[in-house]
Structure 1
Amino acid sequence: MTAGQPQPQPEYPPRYPTGLGTSDAATISLLGQNLAEDLMGKVGFGELAFWLATQRRPTAGEVRLFETVLVALADHGFTPTAIAARMTLYSAPESVQGALAAGLLGGGSRFLGVTEDTGRFLAEVLAAVNAAGEPLPATEAEWDALAREALTERKAAKQLVPGLGHPVHKEGDPRTPVIIRIAHEEGVHGPHLALFEAVGRTAPDVLGRALPLNGAGVCGAALADLGLPLELLRGFALLARTAGLLGHLAEELRRPIAPDVYRSVDRNAHYVPGAAP
């Protein structure tokens, strides 16, 4: 554009593009569908969540595996996230949203975040293979060789391998074989799960101890095989855990434990002089 030419005027009112939802006086549109006529009563929540995140409608097999992951991650008992939600509801009974948020904010490297960490770890190993111009492994032995190399590098760098071990399920996480089986049944078992299984087979030799593949890790591998964005894997874990936290809050209303937890900690606190800075 040369000097003296009129400058383009900004559009008014401004337009903000979205591929998700819009509405007018008579209709609500979601993902290009009529919400009331095309989606309500016809599309399950898991399918819709997948569709919203990927902008493509999943196949029946993808929905089954995705919802299996959501169920696997929904609740795991009195985890710190569940306790935080219950304690927040006790402190602020008028704020269910605050209690849910308190539980979700605790989703990190020890709880729930393992799903994303494992997916990223596996994706990085596979990306390195692609970057080198090499084909992905075709046999179990080749997968084992790739896993052994990745584990050796992590060990040398003194980095933890995400997805290994569990504080409760020392001999094996019961969720892991179910997710792998369903992925095979639905034809959506891909390279991330194949590599993760190889990690489980080779870890004892490389790391010197047997650590089971945990449920959060296998969920991350499955979600990555479904083509879901790595940046959102923790979000899907939090989506699943929201249902579990809501269950904890409902139970807290029926049969509260938060007052007892509070009193137990408060009455048993004792002063210990701190070290000087």
Structure 2
Amino acid sequence: MSPPRGHLAEPQGSPREYPTALGASTRETITLLGHDLARDVMGEVGFGELAFWLAAQRRPSPGEARVFEAVLAALADHGFTPTAIVTRLTYLSAPDSVQGALAAGLLGGGSRFLGVTEDCGRFLHETLAGGDPLPCDEAAWDALALETVRARRERNELIPGLGHHVHKDGDPRTDRLFEIAGEEGLHGPHLELFAAIGRVHPQVLGRTLPLNGAGVCGAALADLGLPLELLRAFALLARTAGLIGQLAEELRRPVANEIFLSVDRGNRSIPPEPYSDGGLHG
């Protein structure tokens, strides 16, 4: 006999076990990270602290929580970026789907926006994992950074975290995050190497580029010992809050329809241009 509609049937036979250190529920309680959710977590643990705890499965120190939340604040919202615009436009198209609007914005987190956080953290970590002892003073850090920048230049590869399309003379988030990490005794090797790259890269590139905020966030997260595979996820967590703010503002002062109409009214018909593969196929 089929269970009533909306009722989840109990599995047949011996129940399997799926161990988790995260959330679990019984008829009377909910536990999270081994603690009673209602009594020990709600009202006692901040959301940023909880996000760190969930990912690392260890509770952060107050200093770690401060650096982590500074990263979240740094990445939350940067105005009318593509992620914000697509969120507003998706909400215009489907106002019944807030989840779709948020998801659309988050899907735009890639190598140009938000993904730099992970790219920079991985790049710094791979450099530091070379097997040699870590540098012991600023000159040694500069030497490692110079070698790293030259190698990337020879391979014609970009240096993640270097340069910004707006803050040409310095990203205001960068110095502040260095400062906070230093105050908390968490200025680790990833931040050390990133700072050294900022000092030496003009010798190789022939011009001075700023260390951008997304890059320094990746360095700071890596110094906190968080999984490199999740660094972009933390950037997306931060941007979720910003996208909620974008939607809230869209409700009060809508601009999405104007953006849509400006493109729609500005379209210009041109003759089709057949695709060319550069002669690779005859």
Q: TM-score range by the shorter chain?
A: over 0.9
- Correspondence for 1:7: none
Equivalent in 39, 45, 48 of residue 47 of structure 2:
45
Task: Give the match's secondary structure for 1:219.
Answer: helix
Q: Distance in 1 between matches of 2:236 and 2:183?
A: 26
Which consecutive segments of 4 or more residues in structure 1 shift more than 2 A? none
Q: Supply the RMSD in Å over aligned alpha carbons.
A: 0.8
Listed as ranges, the matches of 1:41-80 within 5 Å are: 41-80=43-82
Deviation of 1:209 (Å): 1.2
Equivalent in 189, 194, 211 of residue 187 of structure 2:
189
Q: Distance in 2 between matches of 1:268 and 1:55?
A: 52
Which deviations, in whole Å up to 9, do the C-alpha atoms of 1:118-169 show, x marking residues without a partner? 00000000001x2xxx210010000000000011110000000000110110
Q: What amino acid maps onto 1:172 in structure 2?
A: G
Task: Give the match's secondary structure for 1:29.
Answer: strand
Equivalent in 238, 241, 246 of residue 240 of structure 1:
238
Q: What amino acid maps onto 1:231 in structure 2?
A: E
- Correspondence for 1:6: none
Deviation of 1:12 (Å): 2.2
TM-score, normalised to structure 2's length? 0.92
Q: Given the alignment of the two structures, is residue 257 of structure 1 paired with residue 255 of structure 2, yes or no?
A: yes
Structure 2, unmatched stretches of 5+, are: 1-12, 276-282
Listed as ranges, the matches of 1:1-277 within 5 Å are: 12-128=14-130, 130=131, 134-277=132-275
Deviation of 1:276 (Å): 2.2
Q: Distance in 1 between matches of 2:107 and 2:23?
A: 27
Deviation of 1:274 (Å): 2.3
Q: Distance in 2 between matches of 1:148 and 1:92?
A: 50
Instruction: Among all aligned residue pairs of Structure 1 and Structure 2, give the percentage whose two residues are the same amino acid.
Output: 69
Deviation of 1:67 (Å): 0.2
Deviation of 1:25 (Å): 1.1
Q: What amino acid maps onto 1:13 in structure 2?
A: P
TM-score, normalised to structure 1's length? 0.94
Q: Distance in 1 between matches of 2:19 and 2:230?
A: 21
Q: What amino acid maps onto 1:89 in structure 2?
A: Y
